[in-house]
């Protein structure tokens, strides 16, 4: 009887679910015990919205390149991974917002690192790591993301 390696496509998602749940709980306790008292109206909501939407646009590019490379023999793997990516985006955004409204990180641009360090590794471990990515796919993804970087940062120079 030959040894058949069973692919466990949803095992990283279980670990990521646990990590996201712990981070949601810790950011909720952070905002519950150390809330920022708003003394005057500010524009922090627009900051959170822009970072979340730009992160979602970059994630759509990553998903557009990597989702077609997933295993087609597993039933509904692509749509399930897309739904999980949406859940990771919502979870990462809420972690980002709750941590950003705490007393320690209010109006601190370093809280962007919270969103980036939670959301993009989730996409990597959930989708990109199990996808059969070619060198051409990495170049396409890098070119599109490089174009976004030039679009946003080159006019500032």
pLDDT at 21 over 90: yes
Task: Please write the tens of the pLDDT for every residue from 131-140.
Answer: 888 888 889 8
Task: Please write the tens of the pLDDT for every residue from 2-18.
Answer: 666 656 888 889 999 99
Task: Please write the tens of the pLDDT for every residue from 59-106.
Answer: 998 899 898 888 888 888 889 999 999 999 999 999 998 888 888 887
Estimate to the nearest angstrom the gap between the alpha carbon of 78 and the chain centroid.
17
Measured between its terminal Cα atoms, the distance across the chain in Å is 64
Four-CA torsion 22, 17, 105, 46, nearest 10 degrees: -140
Which pLDDT belongs to residue 37? 78
Prediction pTM value? 0.83
Q: Average the pLDDT over 26-39 and give the result.
A: 87
Q: By percentage, how much of the chain surpasses pLDDT 90? A: 25
Contacts of 90 (CB under 8 A, 6+ apart): none
Q: Where are the domains of the chain?
A: 11-33+43-156
Report residue 147 as tokens.
């174009």
């Amino acid at each position: 009887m030959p040894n058949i390696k069973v692919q466990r496509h949803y095992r990283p998602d279980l670990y990521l679910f646990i990590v996201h749940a712990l981070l949601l709980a810790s950011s909720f306790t952070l905002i519950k015990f150390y809330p920022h008292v708003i003394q005057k109206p500010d524009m922090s909501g627009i900051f959170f919205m822009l970072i979340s939407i730009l992160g979602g646009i970059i994630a759509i590019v990553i998903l557009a390149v990597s989702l077609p490379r997933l295993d087609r023999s597993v039933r509904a793997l692509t749509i399930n991974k897309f739904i999980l990516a949406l859940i990771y985006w919502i979870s990462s955004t809420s972690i980002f917002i709750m941590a950003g409204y705490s007393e320690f990180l209010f109006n601190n641009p370093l809280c962007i690192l919270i969103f980036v360090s939670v959301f993009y590794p989730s996409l990597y471990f959930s989708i990109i790591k199990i996808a059969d990515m070619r060198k051409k796919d990495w170049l396409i993804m890098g070119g599109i993301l490089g174009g976004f970087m030039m679009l946003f940062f080159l006019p500032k120079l």
